[in-house]
Amino acid sequence: MRSSVIVFPGSNCDRDIAVVLEKLQFKNSMVWHKETTLPKSDLIILPGGFSYGDYLRSGAIAAKSNILNEVIKAGKNGCLIIGICNGFQILIECGLLQGALLRNSGLKFVSKDIFVRVQTNKNKFFNKYKNGEVLKLNIAHNEGNFFTNQKHLIELEEKELIPIKYCNEKGSIISESNPNGSLNNIAGILNKNKNILGMMPHPERMADKINSDQKGLPLFLSLMN
Partner 1 sequence: MKFSVTVTLKKDVLDPQGKVVSQTLKNMGVENLNQVRQGKFFEIDLDENDTSKGHDKVKEMCEKLLANQIIEDFKINKAE
- Taking the C-alpha atoms of residue 95 and residue 111, their distance in angstroms, rounded to an integer, is 27
Q: What is the dihedral of CA 66, 13, 153, 120, to 10 degrees?
A: 120
Q: Which segment (3-11, 101-109, 110-118, 204-212) binds partner 1 by CB under 8 A?
A: 101-109
CA-CA distance, 4 to 211, in Å (whole number)? 25
Active site residue 202: yes
Distances in whole angstroms, Cα of residue 108 to Cα of each of 5, 81, 111, 142: 28, 28, 9, 6
With CB under 8 A as the contact rule, the residue among 121, 148, 177, 195 that binds partner 1 is 148
Neighbours of 111 (CB within 10 A): 11
Stretch that binds partner 1, among 24-32, 146-154, 166-174, 209-217 (CB under 8 A): 146-154
Return the residues of window 178-197 that contact partner 1 according to CB under 8 A.
181
Whether 141 is catalytic is: no
The catalytically annotated residue of 85, 93, 94, 141 is 85
Closest to 163 (Cα-Cα) out of 124, 136, 202:
124
Binding of residue 100 to partner 1 (CB under 8 A): yes
The nearest distance, CB 212 to partner 1, in angstroms, is 31
Torsion, Cα of 121, 169, 49, 46 (10° steps): 0
Residues 27-66 that bind partner 1 (CB under 8 A): 56-57, 60, 64
- Catalytic status, residue 167: no
We find the least distance from the C-beta atom of residue 29 to partner 1, in angstroms, to be 29
Based on CB atoms, which residue is closest to partner 1, 111 or 149?
149
99 makes contact with partner 1 (CB under 8 A): yes
Question: What is the residue-wise DSSP string for 24-71?
Answer: TT-EEEEEETT-SS----SEEEE--B-GGGG-SSTTTTGGGSHHHHHH
Contact between 78 and partner 1 per CB under 8 A: no
Compute the least distance from the CB of residue 105 to partner 1, in Å.
6
Q: How far is the C-alpha of 86 from the C-alpha of 12, rounded, in Å?
A: 10
* Distance in angstroms (rounded) separating the CA atoms of residues 114 and 222: 22
At closest approach, how far in Å is the CB of 195 from partner 1?
Answer: 22
Residue ranges in 102-141 that form contacts with partner 1 under rule CB under 8 A: 102-107
Distance CA 123, CA 167 (A): 20
> How many residues at the interface with partner 1, by CB under 8 A?
19
Binding site for partner 1 (CB under 8 A): 56-57, 60, 64, 93, 98-100, 102-107, 145, 147-149, 181
* Residues labelled as active-site residues: 85, 202, 204
